Amino acid sequence: MNSYGKSSRDAVDALLKLTAFFSVFIVILLAAKKMLDTPTIWHTSFLSGVFALAKGQVLYQGLHLSKPLLSAIYPPMAYLAYLPVTIAGTPTLAVMIGRVFAALYFFVPFVLALKWTPRRFPPGILLSAFGVFALMVFYLLPLVETAFAVNADAPALGFGAMACVLIYSAGEEPGNARLFLAAFFAVLSVWSKQVMAPLPLALAFFLWKRYRAGICLKYLLFLLIGGSGVSGFFLAAFGAHPIFFHTLYIPSHHPWNSSNPLTAIGDAFKEFSLFAAIPLILPLAAIFINITENDEAPSLRAWLGRNHWAVFFITGLALIPLSLLGRVKVGGAHNTFSYSIYFLAISGVLALIHLHERQAKALLVTLLCVFLFIKIPSLSVFFQRMKEFYPNYASVSYAYIKNHPREAYFPCEPLSELLAEGSFLHVRAGLEERELAGVPVDRANFLETLPFSFKKVVFPPNIPPRVPASEDSVLKYLPEYKHRVDDPELPGWYVYEKS
């Protein structure tokens, strides 16, 4: 029996290592495929804010504009997090570098959680845990769209996860430096995206229940100090009114996507439940196993002491309400669910490896095989993605502006304008955000803040102007540009000249 049991364990170990290494290889291919997604206007519009910040241009403005309007509804840390991207000289390269940084913000905290885990685990378990988490990310739409999206999501999640990692990896009592860094990363997370506001309180709740009130109060003091310092710096650098107008007033006044709030919330919750099923089931299953294996139910403090991964679980639960709120607003997409699902997914995978080794190995191998079976077929379009990646709308608009400086206005491609000629005009996304909030830009103010005149207004093939033009967020300010023409250098684009 002993010989049979040993050979059985050896077989499981060999299978675990094999599937773990193979899953990492597949993850690399899936990441490469995702990197080849065609750059979207949402990515280039966001990066135009990053480049504008690097060039010392105005990021936030009040109701009355003094400069062309950017799309800037995120707090400043979201843009500062991507400053290294500004080494790029073309919009396509900028998006590629931005995706690398987004992926680093997204995945590195989980890798550090595995490296700094409170218990020691065999390398095979840690590698397979990474494989399960990464494949789960590629399986769940909200997570994969966030992991490689050049916007505020990845930095906000990454900074928040780092705060959780510092607490997760603490021993019997976290030191002052660890608590301060956790508070500091929590502050950076909130200053990256507003939806992360519940995170600092979720960490305080965990510290209170896991340790004692003194530890929680010490963290709250560091949170107050760090929050005051970071907030004071940003408010002084960018101005309190412009920041609050762009990051709080405008998003809070965007309408819901349904006239019936209950219907909107119900639909969003149904969607969320489908995406969150696996990330929720894993930690709940681990909790059930822990309870059933103990004759006596341990106290909450004792249980949290053995299961530090619960800090991610509590954070994920705390972020559910604002994740749903982001989806019910006009323009809200599936990526808003990632704020909760990301932390639930991390808690689920960490919960698995904290089970008995035999249980953990069996579950990890099973999940790896299931996710590999689901995701490997998607690699069949890899080479097709390579063909479609370039040229793209960003590269075409950039080349056109370089060849015809100050001749055309590309309201959907501000990054091309900024990199090709050092300035930009009003960004369509920014104008739409103002309209949705009920504070549209005045036409006279729009015209007086244009840095130069132009002959054409150009829209990409996938985002045509609204019809009639009086309802379009750009053309309504430029009614004289109503004659559509064909430009051989812009096939399929919507090109308008003065009639």
**pLDDT for res 212:** 85
Which residue, 183, 58, 69, 61, is CA-closest to 426?
Answer: 69
Inform me whether the pLDDT recorded for 6 exceeds 80.
Answer: no
Q: Is 488 helix (H, G, I), strand (E, B) or coil?
A: coil
CA distances from 381 to 369, 375, 378, 452 (A): 21, 12, 6, 43
CA dist list (Å): 492 to 456, 457, 460, 484, 485: 15, 14, 8, 11, 10
Q: Report the distance separating Cα 155 and Cα 46, nearest Å.
A: 13
Q: What is the 3-state secondary structure (H, E, C) of 249-296?
A: HHHHCCCECCCCHHHHHHHHHHHHHHHHHHHHHHHHHHHHHHHHCCCC
> Whose structure tokens read 């549209």?
440
Average pLDDT, the chain: 91
Convert the pLDDT of each residue in 468-490 to its tens digit. Answer: 877 889 999 999 998 999 999 99
Q: Over range 154-172, report the average pLDDT.
A: 94
pLDDT at 2 (0 to 100): 57
The pLDDT score that the predictor gives to residue 7 is 60
- If you average pLDDT over residues 309-330, what whole number do you get? 93
Global pTM?
0.93
| Helix residue spans in 153-197 (DSSP H) | 153-168, 176-190
Residue 183: is its pLDDT beyond 90?
yes
Taking residues 259-279, what's their average pLDDT?
Answer: 91
pLDDT score of 225 more than 80: yes
Spatial contact of 455 and 404, defined as CB atoms under 8 Å apart: no
What span, in angstroms and rounded, lies between the C-alpha atoms of 156 and 325? 17
Helices (H), 116-152: 123-139, 141-147
Looking up tokens 């550090």 gives 112
Express each pLDDT in 98-153 by its tens digit: 999 999 999 999 999 999 988 888 888 999 999 999 999 999 999 999 999 999 99
- Work out whether strand 456-459 and strand 494-498 pair parallel, antiparallel, or are unpaired: antiparallel
Q: Supply the pLDDT for residue 5.
A: 52
Confidence of residue 8 (pLDDT cuts 50, 70, 90): low
> In DSSP terms, which residues pair with 481 in a beta bridge?
498
Q: Over range 162-189, report the average pLDDT.
A: 94
Phi, psi of 408 (to 5 degrees): -130, 150
- Edge to edge, the sheet with strand 494-498 lists 408-409, 456-459, 494-498, 481-485
Structural domain boundaries of the chain?
A: 2-35+73-382, 393-498
Q: How many CB atoms lie under 10 A from the CB of residue 97?
A: 18
Average pLDDT over residues 355-374: 88
Taking CB atoms within 8 Å and a gap of at least 24, the contacts of 417-425 are 418/48, 418/51, 418/52, 418/55, 419/51, 419/88, 419/89, 419/90, 419/91, 419/94, 422/55, 423/68, 423/451, 423/452, 424/48, 424/52, 424/68, 424/70, 425/68, 425/450, 425/451, 425/454
pLDDT at 3: 54
How much is the average pLDDT of 18-45?
90
pLDDT band for 10, please (50, 70, 90 cuts): low
> Does residue 1 register a pLDDT over 50?
no
How much is the pLDDT for 397? Answer: 94
Dump pLDDT digits (tens) for 57-79.
889 999 999 999 999 999 999 99
